[in-house]
Amino acid sequence: MYKIEVIKSIENIDEKEWDSICKYTISSWGWYAMAEKTKCIRINPRHMIIRKGEEIVAIFPMYIESKNSEFTLINNIIFRGSKLLNKFKLRQYPALICGWPPSLREKMMFNKKHEKDNEKITNMFFKEIDKIAEEEKIKFSALTYVSSFDKLKNNVPDNYKIFPYLNGLAYLDNKFETFYDYEMSMKSRDRKRVRREIKKNKESGVEIIRLNDISGYEKIFAELFLNMLEKYNDTESLKDEEYFKNLNKYLKGKFTAYIAKLDGEIIGFQITLGKEYKHGYMVGLNHEKTKDNFTYFNLCYYNPIEDMIKEKSKIMFKGFTHLYLKQKRGSKLDYPDLMIKTYDNKSKILFGILILVKKIKNKIQNITKRKER
């Protein structure tokens, strides 16, 4: 007999029990503990735990999103639906989100012993979402970044509306024995670019070191990360010293920090989470001292890829930004969806209109592409 429990804090479940069915560091107990303990993130958990007897069968990480959350549901939609919602004075919040947006992976985690019951368990999950939505007066429930890597993709009910993301998800399969194999997997022009950027970075005097413990680096990391946010006018993703202290506290040994130094000064960093499954997570730079020496590419691409090959990792996820640059350096693209269910009649009509508009746009784009060929 299955039983469902919804917990409002990661501390209400044992770390070893959670991680026993967790595949990725970016979905681990430590990851969500870090999120809860960091004030600048503002996360309000509703993690769903399903058991059979005392044995854990499945976990569905979730949180309630409000206007004060770091991530906003509507910002994830391919078109600017928020403007239309505001025009009609429709409330967007609270929303119930399955998964935490930066984690990208594992909207559902299954105990392999019970995989034959996946469909049954998934149905229980969606029924419980509706129950939570009613109890907490939820406006939307949403599954973020549902990609071909997610088991959930083929089991989503028909009453969830699908919104394709504007960008694809870049990833790199590790099919290489050596870094040379990685270079040779690219076109000649791209391969020459990679070698030139590595050579230029070394000749400029930049030294890149690796750390698994970032104690003492929290302040400079926060400053360098702020530089990145200011460059792209991002005011919502601020990470302070507390964030990096908690990252180190809860995930120490489960990530690699790549630090770039020039004449003894730290001019950049990048953090890659995980070992077997790697996630390029965040980067910070001194733009003035890195703009001409290709430090960005060596921090975010070549050194992590070198380690991926040495450690025989299976895959490296590279995120949703700068996709053209990532493709030129060997990455493939997967195209995830945002899936939404509304609990408000006006919103149902509005989202129906938005989906129709999107379909019309897609048809026009397809006709244009055929003509161009």
Q: Give pLDDT tens digits for 316-351.
A: 998 877 888 999 999 999 888 888 888 877 667 766
Write out the two tokens for 15: 């770390």
Indicate the average pLDDT of the chain. Answer: 85
Q: Is residue 354 scored above 90 in pLDDT?
A: no
The length of the chain, given as a count of residues: 373
- 2-166+336-372 shares its CATH topology with 175-313: yes
In one-letter notation, the amino acid at residue 187 is K
Kindly list the distances between the CA atom of residue 126 and the CA atoms of 129, 149, 157, 246, in Å, as whole numbers in the listed order. 5, 20, 8, 32
Q: Cβ distance 32 to 47 under 8 Å?
A: yes
Kindly state the percentage of the chain with pLDDT values over 70. Answer: 82
User: Residue 131: its pLDDT value, please?
Assistant: 95
Residue 335 to residue 99: CA distance in whole angstroms: 17
* Domain 175-313: CATH class, spelled out: alpha beta
User: Residue 79: its pLDDT value, please?
Assistant: 39
User: Residue 99: its pLDDT value, please?
Assistant: 77
| Gyration radius of the chain over CA positions | 22
User: Residue 102: its pLDDT value, please?
Assistant: 56
CATH code, residues 2-166+336-372: 3.40.630.30
User: Residue 310: its pLDDT value, please?
Assistant: 97
User: Residue 319: its pLDDT value, please?
Assistant: 81
Residue with tokens 């939820």: 138
Buried b / exposed e along 218-251 (16+ C-beta atoms within 10 A): bebbbebbbebeeeeeeeebebbeebbbbbbebb
pTM of the model as a whole:
0.85
Over residues 144-161, the mean pLDDT reads: 79
Residue 171 to residue 299: CA distance in whole angstroms: 16
User: Residue 367: its pLDDT value, please?
Assistant: 64
User: Residue 1: its pLDDT value, please?
Assistant: 84
The model's pLDDT over 7-34, given as tens digits with 9 standing for 90+, comes to 999 999 999 999 999 988 988 999 999 9
Q: Is residue 103 scored above 60 in pLDDT?
A: no
**Minimum mean pLDDT among 51-60, 96-105, 313-322, 329-338: which range?**
96-105
The model's pLDDT over 72-97, given as tens digits with 9 standing for 90+, comes to 554 444 334 455 555 655 556 788 88
Q: Is 112 exposed, middle or buried (0-12, 13-18, 19+ CB in 10 A)?
A: exposed
The model's pLDDT over 163-216, given as tens digits with 9 standing for 90+, comes to 777 677 899 999 999 999 999 999 999 999 999 999 999 999 999 999 999 999
Residue 301 to residue 314: CA distance in whole angstroms: 16
User: Residue 127: its pLDDT value, please?
Assistant: 94
Q: Cβ distance 197 to 302 under 8 Å?
A: yes
Sign of the C-alpha dihedral computed for residues 69, 71, 73 and 74 taken in this order:
positive
Q: List the chain domain ranges.
A: 2-166+336-372, 175-313
